[in-house]
Amino acid sequence: MRVATTLSVLVLGAGAIGHAVVTSLDTGISRVDPFRDMKNRPAGGHGMNLLLVGTDGRDKITAEQKEKYRLGGAPCRCTDTIMLVHISRDRERASVVSLPRDSYVEIPAHTDRNTGKRHEAHPVKLNAAYSEGGPGLTVSTVEQLTKVKIDHYLEVDFTSFMKTVDAVGGVEICTAQSMKDAYTGLDLAAGTHRLDGGRALQYVRSRHVDGASDLGRMQRQQRFVAAFIKQATGTGVTLNPMKFRQVTSAMLDSVRADAGFGPDEMLALSRAMRGFSAASSEFTSVPIGAMGPAKDIGSTVTWDDAKAQKLFRMIREDKPLAPETPQKPRVPLVDVAPQQIRVQVYNGTRADGLGRKVDSALRATGFNTTGSPFNDGGSPVVRHTFVEYDPRWDRSARSLAAALPGCELRPVNGQGQTLKVTAGADYKGVTTVRAKDVKQGEFDTVKGDQVVCP
């Protein structure tokens, strides 16, 4: 969730601004030493590996923000989000792997930072590693699990996340369906939204939008990261010294990083990544084998060991997670999956049964039709097929129009989520379409440019 505030701002912007600015800002970063006294670490691979941790920090949240964004309760002193980011050796690709916070893991022997007691290795949820041993135990646990050597550690809390999103002018998110979560207060209608810092925090924290719980939340976080990268690299933030200073200063108020990730490292990395964009990033999550309760731990997810080992071996070997030469799609790519689009068909001709024919053809290609076309024969002749749609569902309308080549789009305010197709005399059939944010390869990887708003 916080990779957006680090990768996009610190790394992507630093090279364009200059050493003096970055050095002055560096004094605002709190330093930690997560690598102290670590032994038997994995061998280093190619490229750079950053462990990006978002903590459940609420100490600097105002009373008004706590009430407005449902941030009540005491902070758990645990990791809310964990992402492993691999920057390729040629600096042309960032592979982001989400590590579920409820992953069933065995943490190494350590001294509990809360009680001072010595503990032997024992099973916990992954986010408990931070609670018991802080950044050091989190890094050693992830290294033990993945066999990937962590080069740098970055940690951000709620406050800096909100401030940074506001500083870049908000982030644009597109949703095919309405999203509501009573726990976070998230309430988004289907369509395109520009989220400020508070609403963005609701978006990336929500776990009760659908039945996917934390796994669905990770996918939304990945979409948000891609959208933030697009915003930060496409609006001049990284090229404007004043804007860059404003954004970075907002972020650094609550950032913690290892001492090795200083101005020189930021500049060297960013200069090599000047052409970076959302298309340069790819996102996936650790393959899951099973989900269920574990004794004395609670509900957990267990990794698919064979697939996870292969995933992290590819990270160590600096290989892309999405296919290097993906197959060219045989059908047009659209923004919204047909299964998410509700359609009512009308027959605009005197041809008996044309409405049923169009409804069946759309349903056969995945569209969620009503199955009950209107005016199926005997209507005044409509020459051209057209689609009526509520402007809030414009992406769905364009996706449907791609399946009806040559049709006309007609916006109708207040129509609602259901799109209306009136088949005219020029109707020639339905073209099969496919959502463009389709997952690629055996690790269900998506590219950043596939999940941002068009």
Query: What value does the CA radius of gyration of the chain take, rounded to a whole number of Å?
Result: 24
* Cβ atoms < 10 Å from Cβ of 73: 9
- Look at the chain and report how many structural domains it folds into: 2
CATH code where residue 181 lies: 3.40.630.190
The token pair that represents 123 in the structure block: 């099973």
pLDDT at residue number 4 = 47
Examine the domain organization and report whether 348 and 268 are in the same domain: no
Please indicate, yes or no, if residue 310 is contained in any of the structural domains. yes
163 and 110 both lie in a single domain: yes
Which residues 6+ apart lie within 8 Å of 260 measured at CB?
A: 151, 152
Query: Distance between CA atoms of 71 and 139, rounded to whole angstroms?
Result: 27
Same domain, yes or no: 229 and 154 = yes
What pLDDT, on a 0 to 100 scale, did the predictor assign at position 257?
83
Are 361 and 226 in the same domain?
no
Residue 40 Cα distances to 31, 48, 134, 151, 221, angstroms = 23, 19, 19, 15, 32
Among the listed residues 354, 284, 333, the one whose alpha carbon sits nearest the alpha carbon of residue 86 = 284
Q: Which amino acid appears at position 41 of this protein? A: R
CATH number at residue 380: 3.30.70
Assess whether 113 and 211 both reside in one domain: yes
- 3-state SS string over the chain? CCHHHHHHHHHHHHHHHCHHHHHHHHCCCEEECCCCCCCCCCCCCCCEEEEEEEECCCCCCCHHHHHHCCCCCCCCCCEEEEEEEEECCCCCCEEEEECCCCEEEEECCEECCCCCCEECCEEEECCHHHHHHHHHHHHHHHHHHHCCCCCEEEEECHHHHHHHHHHCCCEEEEECCCEEECCCCEEECCEEEEECHHHHHHHHHCCCCCCCHHHHHHHHHHHHHHHHHHHHHHCCHHHCHHHHHHHHHHHHCCCEEECCCCHHHHHHHHHCCCCCCHHHEEEEECCEEEEEEECCCEEEEEECHHHHHHHHHHHHCCCCCCCCCCCCCCCCEECCCHHHCEEEEEECCCCCCHHHHHHHHHHHCCCEECCCCECCCCCCCCCCCEEEECHHHHHHHHHHHHHCCCCEEEECCCCCCCEEEEECCCCCCCCCCEECCCCECCCCEEEHHHHCCC
Same-domain status, 279 and 153:
yes
For residue 171, tell me if it sits in a domain: yes
- Does residue 46 share a domain with residue 30? yes
Distance CA 261, CA 106 (A): 28
Residues 261 and 349 in one domain: no
374-416: per-residue pLDDT in tens? 876 666 789 999 999 999 888 899 999 999 999 999 999 999 9
Read off the tokens for 145.
């699990």
What are the residue ranges in the chain where pLDDT is below 50? Answer: 1-5, 11-17, 326
In a domain, 36, yes or no: yes
Asked if residue 320 is part of any domain, the answer here is yes
* Residue 5: CB atoms within 10 Å: 31
Whether residues 115 and 208 share a domain: the answer is yes
- Say yes or no: 233 and 380 in one domain: no
Instruction: Note whether residue 331 is domain-resident.
Output: no
> Do 172 and 289 belong to one domain?
yes
Range of the domain at 318: 3-326+441-451
DSSP-assigned beta bridge partners for residue 55: 79
- In Å, how far are 231, 310, 403, 419 from 349, measured between CA atoms? 46, 57, 20, 19
Q: Are 382 and 292 in the same domain?
A: no
Write the pLDDT tens digit of every residue in 103-113.
999 999 998 88
Rounded Cα–Cα distance for residues 130 and 32 (Å): 13
What is the Cα–Cα distance from 77 to 55, expressed in whole angstroms? 7
Please give the pLDDT value at position 141. Answer: 95
